[in-house]
Chains A and B, each alone.
Chain A
Amino acid sequence: MQKSTRQDQHSRPAVSDLIAQKKKNRTVGSTLEKLVPGILFGIAAVSIITTVGILLTLITETVLFFQEVNFFSFFTGTELKPLGQNAVFGVLPLLTGTLISTAIAMLVAIPIGLMTAIYLSEYASEKARRILKPILEILAGIPTIVYGFFAFTFVTPLLRSFIPGLEPTNILSPGLVMGIMIIPMVASLSEDAMSAVPNSMREGALALGSTKLEVTWKVVVPAAISGIIASFVLGISRAIGETMIVTIASGSSKNFTFDITQSMQTMTAYIVEVSGGEAAAGTTLYHSLYAVAMTLFVFTLVMNFIAQYISRRFREEY
């Protein structure tokens, strides 16, 4: 082979020969090569195992719970008294607490989030975007515990100064703060959807003499509607699962009420209260933790599926 001629010019053997030599004792390398895909698959499987773990954990204990508490009375019961001799487990107070706080949050997050998205995507100059977007990112990065502190020590006292009947712990304040927390999420997901609308569509409408508002409202928003709605649904899912803000600022009253000036407990706050109280394993109280968590899990899962379905089913083809 022609390499041999070149080899003569050098004191060392040809590279190709060196490589051939090394190849012989490279069994370690080739073993590794065969093992790597398996190892990586094993690592990737951890996420699946996590999901299975969550499901198994929730299901086994929930089944135990429903052996002790009637399924029907749990989901229709308006009374929740988990402690004491005559414990009663009705989940409705927690459900109303969760849904009302979520509704308040979305009343804040949807309009402000959407308007922010429209401003950033359609109106803001490049310079304004460069300043405003990081601010939203900072808002999104603030830990929920900080928002909880803010709701409890600032927003509640502020609201109480002009809503006299407001209790020190109430669902209104954490609901509002939760809404603020979710604004960045709705804004950035909606903005992504609107930015994906091709400029040719805007130009077409603008060339007909439409104002920017008309273009936004009649062209861009309809074109991006699936992404926008998906962002709302994900926001709802986030609100349902949010824990610390409501735990701190809404107290632990288990009243079945629709009065937003009152203290209410959400599903998440119940889980924190009961598990933090170190409920003894095996008791109905302990099992109730999982039944509530299961309900919460199903709620958020359904929301996430809906969001995925919307954005997949109605994906715009430009």
Chain B
Amino acid sequence: MTVLTGKANAKTNNLSASTGSETENKKIVYNTKDLNLWYGEDHALKNINLPIHENEVTAIIGPSGCGKSTYIKTLNRMVEMIPIVRISGEILYRERNIFDKNFQVEDLRTRVGMVFQKPNPFPKSIYENVAYGPKIHGIRDKKILDEIVEKSLKGAAIWNEVKDRLNENAYGLSGGQQQRLCIARALAIEPDVILMDEPTSALDPISTLKVEELVQELKKDFSIIIVTHNMQQAARISDKTAFFLSGEVIEFAETDKIFSTPSDKRTEDYITGRFG
């Protein structure tokens, strides 16, 4: 794989200023420019511009159908699994346009892990689930795999619960455990970014709390983009928040600012529970 990150390029970082968010020293991982997306005739994403910085948690909130899930699935091009999708504009990942013809979508997804709405472990053993990523990318050395599996499960704070039954089927785990296993599976290829699409929507409150703590922990090593319909969750765990409405970014700013002094009336209406 070509080195996607390269040397820090100070010039491109200035682009973040355009959104009004505070300019920092942190590098931009994902920069979305004039992104439009249609499902057939349906204009699902409209002129999205969004810079996302590394080692931060960026939350994407908004009512159902606002395009937040579509957006996060566009970031690793999973959205293209739906055949009627059309896209214009660009998304730069580490300064390269992911829609570029020469850009291998598999490379992108190797660097960008994803955790889905519903826990979706493979019907294989716990060990095999975590080892899946490294294996398909050619790592076969049993010792290295063992190490990766242990480290990833520890990273996802589930090691203690499963270390004695690594060879059991993943579907024997509880929903919350399954979701943390899925996070471990994503960690196993040591991604640069982790995309989380409403990762706690199918979980009970205690499991939700565990995943949230985990996200805080993971922030140190990864850039995390999390879609959530739960505003408290966004407020609790994210550094920046983007508010989506009808396919548009209404407001994007520091989470504190969004939840205390939103600049747009619609944001205020949403976070105060007046709609959505």
> Do A and B make up one complex?
yes
Residues on the B chain within 8 Å of A70, using CB: none
Q: Is the CB of A20 within 8 A of B1?
A: yes
In the assembly, what is the distance between CA of A10 and CA of B148, in Å? 11
B8 to chain A, nearest CB (A): 10
Residues on the B chain within 8 Å of A1, using CB: 5, 192
Q: Is the CB of B137 within 8 A of A14?
A: no
Q: Is the CB of B189 within 8 A of A26?
A: no
Q: Is the CB of A23 within 8 A of B188?
A: no
Q: Is B80 in contact with chain A by the CB < 8 A criterion? A: no
Contact mask for chain B residues 40-55; partner A; CB cutoff 8 A; 1 contact, 0 none: 0000000000000011
Q: Is B147 in contact with chain A by the CB < 8 A criterion? A: yes
Count of chain B residues with Cβ under 8 Å from any Cβ of A?
Answer: 21
Q: Is the CB of A19 within 8 A of B139?
A: yes
Residues on the A chain within 8 Å of B144, using CB: 12, 18
Residue pairs across A and B with CB atoms within 8 Å: the count is: 47
Contact mask for chain B residues 1-20; partner A; CB cutoff 8 A; 1 contact, 0 none: 10101000000000000000
Q: Is A275 in contact with chain B by the CB < 8 A criterion? A: no
Q: Is A15 in contact with chain B by the CB < 8 A criterion? A: yes
Interface-centre pick from A3, A6, A19 (highest chain B CB count, 10 A): A19
Q: Is A2 in contact with chain B by the CB < 8 A criterion? A: yes
Q: Is A22 in contact with chain B by the CB < 8 A criterion? A: yes
Residues on the A chain within 8 Å of B134, using CB: 15, 18-19
Within 8 A of B (CB), among A1-41: 1-3, 6, 10, 12, 14-16, 18-20, 22-23, 26, 29
Residues on the A chain within 8 Å of B111, using CB: 16
Within 8 A of A (CB), among B178-204: 188-192
Main secondary structure of the interface of B (DSSP, over half): loop
Q: Is the CB of A19 within 8 A of B147?
A: no
Closest Cβ neighbor of A18 among chain B residues: B139
In the assembly, what is the distance between CA of A126 and CA of B3, in Å? 62
In the assembly, what is the distance between CA of A12 and CA of B55, in Å? 24
In the assembly, what is the distance between CA of A19 and CA of B137, in Å? 6
Q: Which of B54, B107, B189 lies in contact with A15, CB distance below 8 A? A: B189
Q: Is B177 in contact with chain A by the CB < 8 A criterion? A: no
Q: Is the CB of B189 within 8 A of A16?
A: yes
Q: Is the CB of A2 within 8 A of B55?
A: yes
Q: Is the CB of A22 within 8 A of B139?
A: yes
Q: Is the CB of B138 within 8 A of A15?
A: no
Q: Is B110 in contact with chain A by the CB < 8 A criterion? A: yes
Residues on the A chain within 8 Å of B55, using CB: 2
In the assembly, what is the distance between CA of A64 and CA of B64, in Å? 69
Q: Is the CB of B138 within 8 A of A23?
A: yes
Q: Is the CB of A12 within 8 A of B137?
A: no
Within 8 A of B (CB), among A163-210: none
B102 to chain A, nearest CB (A): 14
In the assembly, what is the distance between CA of A33 and CA of B5, in Å? 27
Closest Cβ neighbor of A22 among chain B residues: B138
Q: Is B221 in contact with chain A by the CB < 8 A criterion? A: yes
A25 to chain B, nearest CB (A): 8
B132 to chain A, nearest CB (A): 13
B23 to chain A, nearest CB (A): 20
In the assembly, what is the distance between CA of A19 and CA of B140, in Å? 11
In the assembly, what is the distance between CA of A211 and CA of B130, in Å? 58
Q: Which of A16, A23, A26, A29 lies in contact with B190, CB distance below 8 A? A: A16
Query: Which 3 pairs of residues, A with B, have the shortest CB-CB distance?
Result: A22-B138, A15-B190, A1-B5
Q: Supply 5 A–B pairs (Cβ within 8 Å), ascending by A.
A: A16-B189, A16-B191, A16-B192, A18-B144, A22-B137
Known contacts A2-B192, A14-B190, then 7 further A-B pairs from the complex at CB < 8 Å, ordered by chain A residue? A2-B55, A15-B148, A18-B139, A19-B110, A20-B1, A23-B107, A26-B138
